[in-house]
C-alpha cells in the first residue's frame, strides 16, 4: 500500500500529464464543436510538453544558466547542479509547432464556418448529407 | 562540394522558399521559375547522393559541426538515398504539371502556393535524410502544416477535410513525439543510432514497449493505415489537383519509410520481430487494410476518391510486406515505396488532367474520354496496369517480391489479399475504361462516331501532358531497371538479420 | 550447342510495335495499310531468317535486362517457339489482306485503332513465342490480353461490352489470380524461372504441391480454353471476323496452349511429370474438353460460335498430345499448332466472307450457299477436312501423330476419344458443306448466280486453303521443327 | 520547489483543462485555455524550465489566446457541448 | 462517438500508465536522461560557445538545425494563414461616411464621389472604424514602446538570461497586436503594413538559414558558426556566440512578422479592414 502511495506521489507529474493528455484526446475525438476540438488539441500538445519538461527535472538542481565568472579560476561546472536543458530546447520547438498548428487550424475552422455557418460537426455533416 | 550534399539537399529548397515567398509580393512571375530551380537543384543533389551512396556506401553529415549524439546529424544510407531520389523526382515532376492548374484556378495566390509546395517537399526530404529522432518530428510538422494548408485550399468540403486531417495528423505526430520522449527518458539520447546502441539492455522495459507501440500507432495514423485511415480519402479527394498529386504519392510513402527506419535503425529488427513478436498481428492488420481499401474503392463513383482508397490499400501492401520480416518482403516494401509513389503520381496527374478539362472526375464526366483525351487516358491505362501489377510496369515487380515474401513467410492470408486487391483493381480500372471507351454506346455496326471525326480531341495542355507521360514511361523504365534498383540499392538496405 | 546471340528476336517482336506510331499518324487509309503490310512482311522475314539456325538445332538468344535475381527479360528462339512464330507471322500477312477486305467491305469505324491493336497483339504473340523464361512469357501473355480487349469490343455496343467483360474476367482474372501466384511459388521452389529442357522445378518438391501447381498453371492460362474456363472464347466471337480468325483461332488461343506446353515440357519436364503420373491426369482433362466441346459444337447454329467450340476442342488436342509424354504424341501436338491454324483460319475467313457477301451468320441460313459462293465453300470444305483430320489436308498428319502417340503411351482410352471426337467433328462440319452444295432447288435460300465476297477477302482464304493441302504433302519445316522440339 | 504548491498548480491545471473543454461558450473556453496555459507556465517555472515557461507565457497565454478570441469573434460563441 | 472516444482515451491512458510504472523516479539526477547526452551541454556550454544559458546554446548551436526548422514552421504557418484567408478582391463601397471628431456629426458621400476634407477634423467612418476608448487607447500607446524595448532586450540578452529570439519576437509581435486591439487594425497596419509583416518573416528565417549557408560557403559544415571567425572579431568560440546572436535576431524578426501576419489574417478574415 505504502509503495503504491509512493508510486502515486513520486510520479505525480506523470499522472497529471496522462490525465491532461486524456482530456485533450477526448476533446479531439468526442467533442462536437470544432473550436473545442482545437482547444483539446492544444491541451493534448501541452500535456506532452509537460511530460518532456518533467523528464528534465533534477532534484536539487537549478535552472540551466551556468553561473560563471570571468576570472580564469572558475571552478568546474557540475552537470548535477543544473537542470537538464535538452528537454527545454525540444519543447520550445514543440510550443512553436503547437502555435503554428493552432494558427492554421483556426484559419481552416474560420473557412469551415463561413461555408456552413456553424461550428458544430453534426450540423455540418447534416448539411453535407442533405444539400 | 559533394560532402555537403546531404545538407544542400534540404537547404537549397528551404532558402528558395523564402525567396519565392518574397517574390510573391515583389515579382509574382518569378515564383514558378524559382520553385523549379529549387526542386531541380535538390533533384540533382539527391541523384548525386544516390550515386555516391551506391559507389561508396553510407554518408553522414554533422550539422553545425557537432558530433552525434550532441548535435544533429544527417545519415544517408542506401535506403534513404533511394527514397530521397523518389521524393525529389515526384516533387519536381508534379511541380512542372502544377503550373497550368495554378494559372487557371488561383493565379493570385501563386506565391504562397509555391512557397508551401517547396516547403512541403523540403519537409519530406528532411524527414528522410535525418538521423535524429526529434529532428524528424520537426520536419514532419513542416510537411504536415504545409500539407494542411495546401489541402484546405480546395473547393467545397476541402476545409472540413483538412481540419479533420489536422486533428488526426496532430494526434499522429504527438504520438510519435511521445514515443521519442519515452525513448529519451530511458536512453537519454535522440540520435537514432545512439538510441539503437543503448536499447538492447532495455529490451525488457515496459517503457520501450510502449514507446514502440505508441510510435507505430502515430506513424500509422499519419500514413492512413487501415483502421486509422478515416481522414485520408476526404483530404486527398477535395484537395486541388496539383496538391493531391503531390501529397498522395509522397506523404504516405515517406511515413512508410519512417516506419521502416524506426523499426530497422532504432528498435532493430531483433526487437521488433523477435522480442515483441507482433509481426503476425500487424501483417493481418495489413491484410485487412488491403481488403478493406479495395472493397471501399469499389463503392466509389468518383475516380479521384477511388484512387484515395487504392492508396489506403497500397499502404497495406507496404506495411504488410515489411512486417513479414523476411528479405523478399522487405525488398518488396521498399521497392513498393518507389513504385507506388510513381504510380499514384501518374494516376493523380491523369485525374488532374480530367478534372482540368471536365471540372470534376465523377463518373458522369468519363464517357467518351478515350476520344476526347486519348493521351491522358493512355497514361491512365499505364498507371492502372502498374497498380494491377502487369509486367513490365514497375507495379508488377514490387508485387512479385511481396508475393514471394508472403510465400517464404508462409503467410497465405497476405498472399490472398494481394491477389484479391489486384483483381479488384482490374475491376476498378476497367470499369473506368469501359465508360471512357464505350459510352455513349453505339448501335451494332452503326458507327455513331466514325472516322469523319464527329467528336474532337480536347486534350489538356502540353504542360500537363508532358509530366504525365514522363511519369508513365518512368513506370515502365523503373520496371525494367528493377534488377538494378534491387541489386545495387535495396539489397544493401536489407538488415542483415533478415533472410 | 552454343546459342547464337542476336537482337533479331527483339526486332521481330518490336517491328510491329514500332509501326504503331506510323499507323496512328498516317491520315490516308492506303498508307496505313501499306505500312501494316510492310511490318508484317518484315516480321515474317526476320522470323524466317532465324529458321536455318534453329533447324541446325541451335537457339537464338537476346537478353535485355535482369529484372529479378536469376530472372532476366530474355528472348530465346528454339524449335517450338520458331514453329509458333512462323505460323503466326505468316498468317498475319494473309490476315492483313483479309482485314482490308473485311473492314472496308463492312465500312467499319475506328479502323486505325483496329490495325494498331492488331499490330500490338502480334508483337505480343511473337514475344510469347520467343520467351526464354516464365516471366517473359507472362509479360507477353498479359500484353496480349490487354491488346486484344479493344479488338474484341470493337463494335462498342452493349453486347461487345458484355463480352469484353467476360473476356477480361476470365483471362486477366485467371492470369493474376492463378498464374501469378503459381509463378511466384515456382520461383520460391527453384530460384529461377528460366526454361530448360528438363524442367526447372526441383524433383524433391512434394508431389502434392507440384500437382496443385501444375493444375493452377493449366487452368490459369485460360487462353487455352480448357474446360471449364472456356466460356470467354465463344463470347469473344462478337469481334470482327479477322480478329476471330487470327487471334481467336491462332494467336491468342495458341499462346495459351503454347504456355501450357512450355509449362509441361520446360517448367516441369517430362520426366517429372511421368514420375508423378501428372501427364495422364492432364491428358484426361484435355480429353474431357475435347469431347464436351465437340458435343456442344453440334448444337450451335451460329457459324462463328460453332467454330469457337471446335477451336476449344482442337486446342485440347495439342495439350493432350503433349500430356501423353511420348515422342510421337509431342510431335503430333506441336505440329497440330500449325495444321489447325491453317485449317481453322480458313474456316473463319470463310465465315467472314459469307458475312460480308450476304450478311448471314447462322448455319440454318446457309442452305444452298455453295451455288452463290462456290470458291468460298470449297475452301470451307478443305478447312473442314483439315480440322477433322482427313487427307489430303494437313490436319491428317498431326492427328496421325497423335494417334501414334497414344499407342506409344499405351493409352487406349485416349485413342478411342480421339477417334470419337474426329467423328463428332465430321458430324458438325459435313452437314454444313453438304447443305451448301447439295440441296434441293426449293430449299435453297440463294440465287444461282455467283457473287463472291470482295477479292481482298477471297484471295486470302484461297491461299490458306491451298496451304492446308500443301502442308499435307510437304509438312516441312513445321514437322521438322516439331520433331526437334520433341525430345 | 515547494511540493504543496506544485500539487496545487497541477490540480488547477487539470481543472482549467477540463473547464476549457466543458464550458458552453467558446469565448469562455478561449479564456479558460489562456488560464490553463498560464498555470502551465507557472508549473514550468517551478520545475526550472524558465525558457519554456517564458515562451508559454508569451505564446500560450498571450498570442494563442488572442488567436482564439479573434477566431471566435469572427465565427460564433455558440457551442452545444 | 462519445463512447468510442472514451474507449480510445481510456485505452491510451492505460497504455501510458502501464509504461509510467517503469519510468525512472521523478527528478532523479541519476536518470539516463540526465546522464547521457545533456551533461556535455551543461559542462561545456561556456567553454565551447561562450553562452552561459545552456538552453540558448543548445537551441541555437548544438541543435541549431532544429530551431531553424522550428522557425520555418512558424513561417509556413504564416504563409498558410495568408493563403487560406486572404481575400484579394475588394469591392469599393457604394458610399462613404465621415464623422466630425469634435461634434460627432456624421455625413455621407454617395457614389464614390471624391471630396477633400481636413482629416485632422474628420475621420472616415468605414467598416474599420471602431469606437474609441480613451483610457485603453492612451495606456496602450504609452505601454507599447516599453513592451517593444523589453522585447528587444529579451532577444539581445538571450545569451545570459531566459529568453531569446523566439520569446522576444513574440513580445514584439504582441506589441503590434496590442496596438491593433486597442486602436484598430488600420493603425496597426500603418505601423507595420501587410507587406512588411509578410516580408519580415521570410527575411528573418533567411537570416538564420543564410548564416548557416554562409558557414557552408566559408568551408565549414552548415551552421558551424566557427566559420564566422573569419568575418567577426574574437576567436572561434566568440564566433559561435556571435553566430548565435545573429540567428536569434533572425528568429526574432521572423516570429514577430509572422505573429502579426497571422493575427491580421485571423482577426480580419483576410480582408484587412476591421480588427477585433
Chain B contact for E208 (CB, 8 A cutoff): no
In chain B, where the domains are located: 278-444+454-499
What is the residue-averaged pLDDT of chain C? 87
Q: What is the pLDDT of residues B190-201, one digit of tens each?
A: 999 899 988 888
Q: Per-residue pLDDT for B120 more than 70?
A: yes
Q: Per-residue pLDDT for B220 more than 90?
A: yes
- B213-241: average pLDDT: 90
Residue to mutate among D47, D66, D69, D74, with most A CBs inside 10 A, is D47
In Å, how far is B482's CA from the nearest CA of chain E?
A: 35
Among B229-238, C5-14, E231-240, the range scoring the smallest mean pLDDT is: E231-240
Structural domains for chain A: 2-60+79-129 (1.10.287.3510)
Query: What distance separates the 2 farthest-apart alpha carbons in chain D?
Result: 43
Among B87-96, C136-145, C200-209, the range scoring the smallest mean pLDDT is: C200-209
Q: What is the DSSP string of chain E?
A: -HHHHHHHHHHHHHHHHHHHTTSPPTT-TTSHHHHTTHHHHHHHHHHHHS-SBHHHHIIIIITHHHHHHHHHHHHHHHHHHHHHH-----PPPSSEEEEETTT--EEEE-TT------TTTEEE-STT-----HHHHHHHHHHHHHHHHHHHHHHHTTTTSS--HHHHHHHHHHHHHHHHHHS-HHHHHHHS-HHHHHHHHHHHHHHHHHHHHHHHHTTS-TT-GGGGGGTSSS-HHHHHHHHHHHHHHHHHHHHHHHHHHHHHHHHHTTS-S---
CA distances from E243 to B14, E46, E57, E62 (A): 20, 15, 10, 12
Provide CB contacts within 8 A for C250, sequence distance 6+: C87, C88, C91, C341, C344, C345
Shared domain check, E143 and E29: no
D and E touch with 3+ CB pairs <8 Å, answer yes
Of B22, B113, B209, nearest to E83 by CB-CB distance is B113
Contact B124, B143 (CB under 8 A): yes
HSE on the CB side for B22, CA within 13 Å?
13
E and A touch with 3+ CB pairs <8 Å, answer yes
| CA-based nearest residue to A90, from E41, E70, B493 | E70
* Residue at grid coordinates 542476336: C6
**Cβ separation B148–A108 shorter than 8 A:** yes
Q: Per-residue pLDDT for E163 more than 70?
A: yes
In Å, how far is B133's CA from the nearest CA of chain A?
A: 11
For residues B315 and E2, give the distance between their C-alpha atoms in angstroms, rounded to a whole number.
Answer: 29
Q: How confident is the model at residue B290 (pLDDT cuts 50, 70, 90)?
A: very high
Of A16, A61, A88, nearest to D52 by CB-CB distance is A88
**Cβ separation A99–D59 shorter than 8 A:** yes
> Which A-chain residues 34-53 have CB contacts (< 8 A) with chain E?
none
According to the model, what pLDDT value does residue B447 have? Answer: 44
Q: Per-residue pLDDT for B451 more than 70?
A: no
In Å, how far is E100's CA from the nearest CA of chain A?
A: 35
CA C265 to chain centroid:
18
What is the residue-averaged pLDDT of chain A? 85
Using DSSP's 3-state secondary structure scheme, residue B1 falls into coil
Nearest 5°: phi and psi at E273?
A: -110, -65
For residues B317 and B421, give the distance between their C-alpha atoms in angstroms, rounded to a whole number.
Answer: 10
Q: What is the pLDDT of residues C8-48, one digit of tens each?
A: 888 888 888 888 888 787 777 888 888 888 888 999 999 99
Q: Does residue E164 sit within a domain?
A: yes
The three cell numbers of residue C362 are 447462322
Q: Does residue E71 sit within a domain?
A: yes
**Cβ separation A55–B171 shorter than 8 A:** no
Q: What is the pLDDT of residues C402-457, one digit of tens each?
A: 999 999 888 888 999 999 999 999 998 888 888 888 877 667 777 777 778 788 88
Domain of residue E7 covers 1-36
User: Looking at residue B59, what DSSP letter applies?
Assistant: E
For the four alpha carbons of D32, D36, D41 and D42, in that order, the dihedral sign comes to positive
The three cell numbers of residue C149 are 480487349
**Cβ separation D67–E263 shorter than 8 A:** yes
According to the model, what pLDDT value does residue E45 have? Answer: 83
Q: Per-residue pLDDT for C368 more than 60?
A: yes
**Cβ separation C68–B392 shorter than 8 A:** no
In chain C, where the domains are located: 277-487
Q: Per-residue pLDDT for C225 more than 80?
A: yes
Between helix A34-56 and helix D65-74 the angle, nearest 10°, is: 170
In Å, how far is E263's CA from the nearest CA of chain D?
A: 6
For residues E36 and E23, give the distance between their C-alpha atoms in angstroms, rounded to a whole number.
Answer: 16
The three cell numbers of residue B354 are 480530367
Q: Per-residue pLDDT for E118 more than 70?
A: no
Residue to mutate among D3, D17, D44, D70, with most E CBs inside 10 A, is D70
Shared domain check, E227 and E151: yes
For residues A85 and B382, give the distance between their C-alpha atoms in angstroms, rounded to a whole number.
Answer: 54
Q: How confident is the model at residue E54 (pLDDT cuts 50, 70, 90)?
A: confident
Chain B contact for E85 (CB, 8 A cutoff): no
CA distances from B375 to B378, B382, E58, E110 (A): 5, 11, 55, 56
**b/e map A34-69, b = 16+ CB within 10 Å:** bbbbbbbbbbbbbbbbbbbbbbbbbeebebbbbeee
According to the model, what pLDDT value does residue C35 have? Answer: 86
HSE on the CB side for C334, CA within 13 Å?
32
Among B72-86, B355-369, C211-225, E103-117, the range scoring the smallest mean pLDDT is: E103-117
According to the model, what pLDDT value does residue C250 have? Answer: 82
**Cβ separation A111–E266 shorter than 8 A:** no
The residue among B36 and D6 whose pLDDT is bigger is B36
The three cell numbers of residue A95 are 510550443
For residues E242 and E254, give the distance between their C-alpha atoms in angstroms, rounded to a whole number.
Answer: 18
How wide is the angle at C-alpha E29 spanned by C-alphas E23 and E35, nearest 5°?
A: 85
| CA-based nearest residue to D43, from D77, D8, D79 | D8
In Å, how far is B94's CA from the nearest CA of chain C?
A: 27
Q: Per-residue pLDDT for E202 more than 60?
A: yes
Using a CB-CB cut-off of 8 Å, the residues of chain B touching A32 are none
According to the model, what pLDDT value does residue B445 have? Answer: 44
In Å, how far is B300's CA from the nearest CA of chain C?
A: 19
The three cell numbers of residue A64 are 540551466
According to the model, what pLDDT value does residue B258 have? Answer: 93
Of E72, E212, E225, nearest to B119 by CB-CB distance is E72
Percent of chain C predicted with pLDDT > 70: 99
Chain B contact for C156 (CB, 8 A cutoff): yes
- C149-155: average pLDDT: 87
According to the model, what pLDDT value does residue C68 have? Answer: 83
According to the model, what pLDDT value does residue E71 have? Answer: 92
CA D17 to chain centroid:
7
The three cell numbers of residue B41 are 537543384
Alpha helices by DSSP H, listed for B27-109, are 31-56, 78-105
Shared domain check, E138 and E210: yes
Q: Does residue E108 sit within a domain?
A: no
- C273-289: average pLDDT: 89
For residues A7 and E26, give the distance between their C-alpha atoms in angstroms, rounded to a whole number.
Answer: 10
**Cβ separation D14–A19 shorter than 8 A:** yes
Using a CB-CB cut-off of 8 Å, the residues of chain B touching E34 are 188
Chain E contact for A10 (CB, 8 A cutoff): yes
Shared domain check, E153 and E31: no
B and D touch with 3+ CB pairs <8 Å, answer no
According to the model, what pLDDT value does residue E133 have? Answer: 74
For residues E134 and E129, give the distance between their C-alpha atoms in angstroms, rounded to a whole number.
Answer: 14
Of D20, D30, D59, nearest to A95 by CB-CB distance is D59
For residues A112 and A101, give the distance between their C-alpha atoms in angstroms, rounded to a whole number.
Answer: 16
**Cβ separation A44–B170 shorter than 8 A:** yes
In Å, how far is D44's CA from the nearest CA of chain E?
A: 13
**Cβ separation D75–A35 shorter than 8 A:** yes
The three cell numbers of residue B300 are 466509389
According to the model, what pLDDT value does residue C477 have? Answer: 81
**Cβ separation E263–D70 shorter than 8 A:** yes
HSE on the CB side for C101, CA within 13 Å?
25
According to the model, what pLDDT value does residue D73 have? Answer: 84
Q: What is the pLDDT of residues A47-86, one digit of tens each?
A: 999 999 888 888 888 888 887 665 555 567 777 788 888 8
For residues B290 and E67, give the distance between their C-alpha atoms in angstroms, rounded to a whole number.
Answer: 39
According to the model, what pLDDT value does residue E77 have? Answer: 93
Q: How confident is the model at residue C230 (pLDDT cuts 50, 70, 90)?
A: confident
According to the model, what pLDDT value does residue A62 have? Answer: 83
ipTM: 0.90
Residue in E with minimal Cα distance to D1 = E27
**Cβ separation B423–C177 shorter than 8 A:** yes
How many Å is the Cα radius of gyration of chain E?
25
Q: Per-residue pLDDT for E100 more than 80?
A: no
**Cβ separation C181–B415 shorter than 8 A:** yes
According to the model, what pLDDT value does residue B36 have? Answer: 93
Contact C12, C85 (CB under 8 A): yes
Q: How confident is the model at residue B448 (pLDDT cuts 50, 70, 90)?
A: very low
- B165-178: average pLDDT: 93
User: Looking at residue C236, what DSSP letter applies?
Assistant: G
According to the model, what pLDDT value does residue C246 have? Answer: 80
- B332-336: average pLDDT: 93
Q: Per-residue pLDDT for B127 more than 80?
A: yes
- The helix (H) or strand (E) run that includes residue C364 is none
- Name the pairing type of β-strands E106-109 and E122-124: unpaired
User: Looking at residue A62, what DSSP letter applies?
Assistant: B
> Which B-chain residues 139-178 have CB contacts (< 8 A) with chain E?
139, 141-142, 145-146, 148-149, 152-153, 159
How many Å is the Cα radius of gyration of chain A?
22
The subunits that touch chain C, with at least 3 C-beta pairs less than 8 Å apart, are: B
Contact B369, B439 (CB under 8 A): no
The subunits that touch chain D, with at least 3 C-beta pairs less than 8 Å apart, are: A, E
According to the model, what pLDDT value does residue E94 have? Answer: 61
| CA-based nearest residue to A120, from A34, A28, A37 | A34
Chain E contact for A110 (CB, 8 A cutoff): yes
- B46-68: average pLDDT: 89
Among A7-16, A21-30, B370-379, the range scoring the smallest mean pLDDT is: A7-16
Using a CB-CB cut-off of 8 Å, the residues of chain D touching E173 are 63
Amino acid at each position: 500500500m505504502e509503495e503504491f502511495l509512493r508510486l502515486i506521489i513520486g510520479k505525480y507529474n506523470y499522472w497529471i500529464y496522462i490525465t491532461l493528455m486524456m482530456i485533450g484526446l477526448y476533446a479531439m475525438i468526442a467533442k462536437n464543436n470544432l473550436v473545442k476540438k482545437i482547444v483539446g488539441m492544444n491541451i493534448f500538445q501541452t500535456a506532452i510538453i509537460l511530460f518532456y519538461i518533467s523528464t528534465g527535472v533534477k532534484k536539487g538542481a537549478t535552472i540551466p544558466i551556468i553561473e560563471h565568472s570571468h576570472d580564469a579560476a572558475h571552478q568546474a561546472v557540475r552537470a548535477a547542479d543544473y537542470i537538464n536543458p535538452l528537454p527545454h530546447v525540444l519543447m520550445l520547438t514543440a510550443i512553436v509547432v503547437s502555435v503554428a498548428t493552432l494558427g492554421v487550424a483556426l484559419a481552416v475552422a474560420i473557412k469551415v464556418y463561413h461555408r456552413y455557418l456553424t461550428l458544430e460537426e453534426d450540423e455540418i455533416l447534416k448539411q453535407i448529407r442533405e444539400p | 562540394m559533394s560532402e555537403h550534399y546531404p545538407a544542400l539537399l534540404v537547404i537549397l529548397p528551404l532558402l528558395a522558399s523564402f525567396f519565392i515567398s518574397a517574390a510573391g509580393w515583389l515579382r509574382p512571375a518569378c515564383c514558378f521559375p524559382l520553385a523549379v530551380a529549387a526542386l531541380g537543384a535538390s533533384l540533382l543533389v539527391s541523384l548525386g547522393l544516390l550515386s555516391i551512396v551506391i559507389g561508396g556506401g553510407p554518408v553522414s553529415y554533422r550539422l553545425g559541426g557537432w558530433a552525434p549524439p550532441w548535435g544533429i546529424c544527417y545519415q544517408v544510407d542506401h535506403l534513404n538515398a533511394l527514397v530521397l531520389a523518389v521524393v525529389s523526382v515526384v516533387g519536381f515532376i508534379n511541380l512542372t504539371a502544377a503550373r497550368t492548374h495554378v494559372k487557371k484556378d488561383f493565379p493570385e495566390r501563386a506565391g504562397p502556393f509555391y512557397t508551401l509546395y517547396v516547403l512541403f517537399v523540403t519537409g519530406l526530404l528532411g524527414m528522410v535524410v535525418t538521423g535524429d529522432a526529434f529532428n524528424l518530428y520537426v520536419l514532419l510538422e513542416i510537411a504536415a502544416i504545409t500539407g494542411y494548408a495546401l489541402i484546405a485550399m480546395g473547393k467545397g468540403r476541402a476545409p472540413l477535410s483538412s481540419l479533420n486531417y489536422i486533428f488526426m495528423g496532430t494526434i499522429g505526430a504527438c504520438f510519435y513525439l511521445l514515443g521519442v520522449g519515452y525513448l529519451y527518458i530511458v536512453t537519454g539520447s535522440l540520435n537514432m543510432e545512439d538510441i539503437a546502441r543503448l536499447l538492447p539492455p532495455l529490451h525488457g522495459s515496459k517503457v520501450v514497449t510502449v514507446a514502440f507501440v505508441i510510435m507505430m500507432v502515430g506513424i500509422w495514423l499519419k500514413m492512413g493505415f487501415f483502421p486509422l485511415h478515416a481522414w485520408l480519402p476526404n483530404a486527398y479527394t477535395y484537395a486541388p489537383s496539383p496538391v493531391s498529386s503531390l501529397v498522395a504519392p509522397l506523404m504516405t510513402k515517406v511515413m512508410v519509410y519512417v516506419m521502416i527506419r524506426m523499426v530497422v535503425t532504432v528498435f532493430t529488427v531483433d526487437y521488433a520481430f523477435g522480442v515483441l513478436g507482433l509481426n503476425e498481428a500487424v501483417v493481418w492488420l495489413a491484410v485487412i487494410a488491403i481488403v478493406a481499401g479495395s472493397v471501399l474503392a469499389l463503392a466509389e463513383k468518383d475516380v479521384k476518391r477511388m484512387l484515395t482508397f487504392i492508396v489506403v490499400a497500397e499502404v497495406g501492401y507496404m506495411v504488410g510486406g515489411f512486417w513479414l520480416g523476411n528479405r523478399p518482403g522487405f525488398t518488396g516494401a521498399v521497392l513498393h515505396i518507389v513504385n507506388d509513389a510513381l504510380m499514384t503520381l501518374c494516376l493523380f496527374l491523369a485525374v488532374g488532367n480530367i478534372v482540368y478539362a471536365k471540372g470534376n472526375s465523377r463518373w458522369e464526366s468519363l464517357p467518351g474520354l478515350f476520344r476526347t483525351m486519348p493521351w491522358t487516358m493512355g497514361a491512365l491505362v499505364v498507371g492502372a496496369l502498374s497498380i494491377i501489377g502487369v509486367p513490365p510496369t514497375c507495379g508488377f515487380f514490387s508485387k512479385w517480391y511481396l508475393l514471394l515474401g508472403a510465400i517464404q513467410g508462409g503467410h497465405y492470408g497476405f498472399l490472398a489479399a494481394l491477389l484479391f486487391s489486384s483483381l479488384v483493381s482490374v475491376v476498378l480500372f476497367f470499369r473506368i475504361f469501359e465508360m471512357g471507351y464505350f459510352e455513349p454506346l453505339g448501335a451494332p455496326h452503326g458507327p455513331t462516331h466514325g472516322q469523319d471525326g464527329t467528336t474532337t480531341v480536347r486534350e489538356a495542355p502540353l504542360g500537363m501532358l508532358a509530366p504525365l507521360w514522363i511519369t508513365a514511361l518512368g513506370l515502365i523504365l523503373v520496371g525494367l531497371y528493377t534488377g538494378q534498383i534491387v541489386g545495387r540499392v535495396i539489397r544493401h538496405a536489407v538488415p542483415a538479420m533478415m533472410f | 550447342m552454343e546459342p547464337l546471340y542476336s537482337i533479331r528476336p527483339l526486332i521481330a517482336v518490336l517491328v510491329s510495335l514500332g509501326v504503331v506510331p506510323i499507323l496512328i499518324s498516317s491520315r490516308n487509309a492506303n498508307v496505313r495499310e501499306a505500312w501494316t503490310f510492310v511490318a508484317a512482311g518484315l516480321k515474317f522475314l526476320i522470323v524466317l531468317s532465324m529458321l536455318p539456325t534453329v533447324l541446325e538445332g541451335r537457339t537464338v538468344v537476346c537478353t535485355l535486362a535482369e529484372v529479378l535475381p536469376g530472372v532476366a527479360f530474355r528472348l530465346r528462339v528454339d524449335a517450338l517457339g520458331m514453329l509458333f512464330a512462323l505460323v503466326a507471322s505468316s498468317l498475319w500477312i494473309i490476315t492483313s489482306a483479309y482485314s482490308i477486305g473485311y473492314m472496308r467491305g463492312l465500312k467499319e469505324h475506328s479502323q486505325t485503332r483496329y490495325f494498331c491493336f492488331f499490330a500490338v497483339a502480334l508483337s505480343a504473340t511473337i514475344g510469347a513465342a520467343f520467351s526464354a523464361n516464365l516471366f517473359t512469357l507472362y509479360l507477353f501473355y498479359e500484353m496480349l490480353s490487354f491488346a486484344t480487349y479493344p479488338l474484341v469490343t470493337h463494335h462498342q455496343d452493349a453486347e461487345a461490352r458484355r463480352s469484353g467483360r467476360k473476356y477480361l474476367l476470365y483471362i486477366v482474372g485467371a492470369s493474376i489470380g492463378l498464374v501469378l501466384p503459381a509463378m511466384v511459388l515456382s520461383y520460391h521452389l527453384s530460384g529461377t524461372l528460366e526454361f530448360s529442357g528438363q524442367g526447372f522445378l526441383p524433383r524433391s518438391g512434394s508431389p502434392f504441391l507440384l500437382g496443385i501447381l501444375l493444375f493452377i498453371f493449366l487452368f490459369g492460362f485460360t487462353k487455352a480454353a480448357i474446360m471449364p474456363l472456356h466460356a470467354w472464347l465463344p463470347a469473344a466471337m462478337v469481334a470482327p471476323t479477322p480478329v476471330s480468325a487470327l487471334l481467336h483461332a491462332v494467336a491468342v488461343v495458341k499462346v495459351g496452349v503454347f504456355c501450357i506446353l512450355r509449362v509441361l515440357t520446360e517448367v516441369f519436364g517430362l520426366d517429372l511429370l511421368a514420375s508423378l503420373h501428372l501427364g495422364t491426369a492432364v491428358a484426361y482433362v484435355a480429353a474431357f474438353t475435347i469431347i464436351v466441346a465437340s458435343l456442344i459444337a453440334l448444337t450451335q447454329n451460329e457459324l462463328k460460335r460453332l467454330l469457337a467450340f471446335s477451336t476449344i476442342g482442337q486446342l485440347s488436342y495439342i495439350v493432350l498430345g503433349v500430356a501423353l509424354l511420348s515422342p510421337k504424341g509431342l510431335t503430333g501436338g506441336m505440329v497440330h499448332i500449325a495444321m489447325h491454324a491453317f485449317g481453322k483460319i480458313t474456316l473463319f475467313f470463310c465465315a467472314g466472307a459469307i458475312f460480308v457477301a450476304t450478311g448471314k451468320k447462322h448455319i440454318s441460313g446457309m442452305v444452298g450457299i455453295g451455288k452463290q459462293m462456290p470458291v468460298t465453300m470449297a475452301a470451307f470444305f478443305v478447312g473442314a477436312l483439315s480440322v477433322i483430320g482427313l487427307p489430303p489436308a494437313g490436319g491428317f498428319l498431326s492427328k496421325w501423330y497423335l494417334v501414334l502417340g497414344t499407342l506409344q503411351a499405351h493409352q487406349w482410352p485416349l485413342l478411342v476419344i480421339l477417334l470419337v471426337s474426329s467423328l463428332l467433328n465430321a458430324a458438325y462440319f459435313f452437314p454444313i458443306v453438304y447443305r451448301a452444295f447439295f440441296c434441293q432447288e426449293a430449299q435453297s435460300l440463294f440465287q444461282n448466280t455467283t457473287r463472291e465476297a470482295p477479292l481482298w477477302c477471297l484471295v486470302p482464304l484461297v491461299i490458306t486453303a491451298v496451304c492446308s493441302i500443301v502442308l499435307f504433302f510437304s509438312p516441312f519445316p513445321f514437322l521438322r521443327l516439331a520433331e526437334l522440339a520433341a525430345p | 520547489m515547494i511540493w504543496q504548491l506544485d500539487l496545487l498548480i497541477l490540480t488547477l491545471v487539470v481543472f482549467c483543462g477540463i473547464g476549457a473543454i466543458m464550458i458552453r461558450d467558446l469565448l469562455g473556453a478561449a479564456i479558460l485555455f489562456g488560464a490553463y496555459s498560464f498555470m502551465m507556465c507557472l508549473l514550468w517555472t517551478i520545475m526550472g524550465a524558465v525558457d519554456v515557461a517564458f515562451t508559454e507565457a508569451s505564446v500560450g497565454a498571450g498570442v494563442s489566446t488572442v488567436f482564439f478570441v479573434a477566431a471566435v469573434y469572427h465565427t460564433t460563441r455558440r457551442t452545444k457541448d | 462517438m462519445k463512447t468510442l472516444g472514451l474507449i480510445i482515451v481510456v485505452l491510451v491512458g492505460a497504455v501510458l500508465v502501464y509504461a509510467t510504472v517503469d519510468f525512472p523516479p521523478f527528478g532523479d539526477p541519476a536518470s539516463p536522461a540526465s546522464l547521457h547526452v545533456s551533461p556535455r551541454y551543461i559542462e561545456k556550454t561556456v567553454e565551447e560557445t561562450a553562452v552561459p544559458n545552456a538552453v540558448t546554446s543548445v537551441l541555437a548551436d548544438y541543435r541549431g538545425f532544429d530551431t531553424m526548422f522550428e522557425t520555418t514552421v512558424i513561417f509556413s504557418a504564416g504563409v498558410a494563414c495568408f493563403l487560406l484567408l486572404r481575400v484579394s478582391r475588394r469591392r469599393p463601397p457604394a458610399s462613404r461616411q465621415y464623422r466630425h471628431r469634435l461634434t460627432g456629426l456624421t455625413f455621407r458621400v454617395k457614389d464614390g464621389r471624391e471630396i477633400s476634407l481636413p482629416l485632422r477634423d474628420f475621420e472616415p467612418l468605414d467598416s474599420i472604424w471602431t469606437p474609441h476608448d480613451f483610457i485603453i487607447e492612451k495606456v496602450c500607446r504609452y505601454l507599447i514602446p516599453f513592451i517593444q524595448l523589453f522585447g528587444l532586450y529579451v532577444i539581445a540578452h538571450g545569451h545570459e538570461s531566459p529568453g531569446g529570439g523566439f520569446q522576444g519576437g513574440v513580445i514584439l509581435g504582441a506589441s503590434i497586436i496590442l496596438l491593433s486591439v486597442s486602436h484598430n487594425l488600420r493603425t496597426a497596419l500603418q505601423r507595420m503594413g501587410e507587406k512588411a509583416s509578410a516580408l519580415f518573416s521570410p527575411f528573418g528565417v533567411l537570416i538564420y538559414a543564410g548564416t548557416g549557408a554562409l558557414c557552408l560557403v566559408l568551408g565549414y559544415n552548415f551552421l558551424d558558426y566557427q566559420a564566422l571567425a573569419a568575418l567577426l572579431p574574437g576567436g572561434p568560440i566568440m564566433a559561435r556566440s556571435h553566430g548565435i546572436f545573429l540567428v536569434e535576431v533572425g528568429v526574432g524578426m521572423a516570429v514577430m512578422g509572422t505573429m502579426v501576419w497571422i493575427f491580421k489574417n485571423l482577426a480580419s478574415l483576410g480582408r484587412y479592414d476591421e480588427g477585433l
